[in-house]
Amino acid sequence: MEAHTVLTGFVALYIFMLAAFTGYEIIGRVPSILHTPLMSGSNFVHGIVVVGAIYATLNATTMLEQAIGFFGVLLGAGNAAGGYVVTERMLEMFKPSDKKKG
């Protein structure tokens, strides 16, 4: 498929620059008690790579590409799903004092 949006080098740089500042600002204020879930949460977010792997696999033309595509999608899907499950499990555990003292 011919990609219909044309992201030239400079438009890409604008996107990268703004995204980099966004990431910096969001993470810069996180208390260190949340560093693990946050790292694992951002780990989940880059699981979006599976979308790119699906796109490239759908456009495969040889067996070799299909094989690489299979692993690309497999790994990306594992990144996304695994990242989600462990982050959700960890965040569920963080609780303040109020409920205890039973």
Number of residues that bind another protein (CB under 8 A): 90
Residue 10 near another protein by CB under 8 A: no
Cβ-in-10-Å burial (0-12, 13-18, 19+) of 9 comes to exposed
Residue 6 near another protein by CB under 8 A: yes
We find the least distance from the C-beta atom of residue 59 to another protein, in angstroms, to be 4
Residue 100 near another protein by CB under 8 A: yes
User: Please, which of residues 20-79 interact with another protein by CB under 8 A?
Assistant: 20-24, 26-62, 64-66, 68-79
We find the least distance from the C-beta atom of residue 44 to another protein, in angstroms, to be 7
Site string for another protein, 76-95 (x = CB under 8 A): xxxxxxxxxxxxxxxxxxxx
We find the least distance from the C-beta atom of residue 20 to another protein, in angstroms, to be 4
Distance between CA 10 and CA 8 in Å, rounded?
6
